[in-house]
Amino acid sequence: MSIVEAERLCKHFPGRRSLFGAHSGVVRAVDGVSFTIEPGQTLGVVGESGCGKTTTAKLVLGLEQPTAGDIRFEGKDLRALDAAGRRHYRRSIQAVFQDPYASLNPRMRVGAIIAEPLITNERLPPSKVRTRVLELLDLVGLASRSAELFPHEFSGGQRQRIAIARALSLSPKLIVLDEPVSALDVSIRAQILNLLRDLQAQLGLAYLFIAHDLAAVAHMSHAVVVMYLGRIVEYGETHMLVRAPKHPYTKALFSAALPSRPDEWREEIVLSGEVPSPLRPPPGCHFHPRCQLAMPHCREHAPRLRETEGRHIACHLYAAAPNGKVEAWPAGR
């Protein structure tokens, strides 16, 4: 059974208020997004700033309530859960954030930071809490004397290990990783990525991995979701998506990724323009103003996410079903 299933998930924020209190439009931060997270697997989310990655993470964490759509946790609708069910859900889903300098309380000792979720959630005797903290420190590769120290006595990479230990304290099933290595030094990133993969193999954790570094996402994820202005444009297994991206935006995004060596050949698709404001997204397919293959049809009709060629794509170029029933091919193609 999937850990989390999101179906047609929407989160709309009211836009800026004018002087007389009227809302000027709605920001559709997440607009009809569906995905599943399987036990022991990593789902990667990529996209540029403003595409809805972080809002999606907050919805999964229960930090934001969806405007529409459902999230099912182990098959049960979140809205239908009673208080005990919600507590269980919150404990099963933990988070590690980007900046380990901001996510750890500077006035608490590391031991107390890691023990805090245990104390608030489980009625354990202090000696058990202490054993668990030492276990967790060992699990993330920190010495047991770290428990007595304060966060400022650690480097960025070690702090991120502390944040990971805290996230693991309640034995969650899913950890949301929002840019977990982008604040770290280049030579430290591999340590943390390896640690996360080892923990996944050891504990059967699932991850929702959000990052702008495509190579890191590809390295960590079993499946990848590509988002653009609140919608999923392509969703499929990582190796397929990386080898042969299909959606024009995915293609452009992967071609914009920097080469790993100077003589690496890569087709260059340089997009013109910038990501439009989510307050006034273009009609039809959100990507059409920057798409080199846009057809007149794309300006009017938003493509639905459909399964084609072993993955999900939201693009009119791939919309023709063999029986011709789904949607007429647009004129001019």
CB-nearer residue toward another protein: 247 or 297 = 247
Is residue 29 a contact point for another protein (CB under 8 A)?
no
Q: Out of 57, 208, 214, 317, which residue is the one contacting another protein (CB under 8 A)?
A: 214
Cβ-contact 91, 172 below 8 angstroms: yes
**What sign for the dihedral angle of Cα 215, 232, 88, 105?**
positive
CB-nearer residue toward another protein: 225 or 319 = 225
Taking each continuous run of H as one helix and of E as one strand, the counts in the chain are 9, 12
Is residue 253 a contact point for another protein (CB under 8 A)?
yes
Q: Out of 185, 300, 307, 309, which residue is the one contacting another protein (CB under 8 A)?
A: 185
Residue type, 185: D
Is residue 16 a contact point for another protein (CB under 8 A)?
no
Using CB under 8 A as the binding criterion, the count of chain residues that bind another protein stands at 44
CB-nearer residue toward another protein: 9 or 192 = 192
**Which range in 16-24, 63-71, 162-170, 255-263 contacts another protein by CB under 8 A?**
255-263
The DSSP output letter for 180 is S
Of 233, 209, 219, 198, the closest CA to residue 312 belongs to: 233
Q: Out of 12, 197, 304, 306, which residue is the one contacting another protein (CB under 8 A)?
A: 197
* Cα→Cα distances 228→10, 27, 86, 253, 324, Å: 14, 14, 31, 11, 27
Is residue 255 a contact point for another protein (CB under 8 A)?
yes
Q: Out of 53, 72, 161, 219, which residue is the one contacting another protein (CB under 8 A)?
A: 219
**What sign for the dihedral angle of Cα 229, 214, 9, 90?**
negative
Is residue 323 a contact point for another protein (CB under 8 A)?
no
Cβ within 8 Å of residue 271, ≥6 positions away: 252, 256, 290
**What is the rounded radius of gyration, in angstroms, for the C-alpha atoms of the chain?**
22
**Strands of the chain, DSSP E:** 4-14, 26-37, 42-46, 68-73, 76-77, 93-96, 174-178, 206-210, 223-228, 231-237, 306-308, 311-313
The site string for another protein over 155-174 (x = CB under 8 A, - otherwise) reads: x-xx----------------
Is residue 177 a contact point for another protein (CB under 8 A)?
no
Is residue 99 a contact point for another protein (CB under 8 A)?
no
| Smallest gap from residue 197 Cβ to another protein (A) | 8
| Smallest gap from residue 20 Cβ to another protein (A) | 24
Is residue 252 a contact point for another protein (CB under 8 A)?
yes
Angle between helices 156-168 and 110-121 (to 10 degrees): 20
Query: Residue 77, CB half-sphere, CA atoms under 13 Å: how many?
Result: 8
| Smallest gap from residue 131 Cβ to another protein (A) | 27
- Residues making contact with another protein (CB under 8 A): 48-49, 155, 157-158, 185-191, 193-194, 197, 212-216, 218-219, 238-239, 242, 252-264, 268, 270-272, 274-275
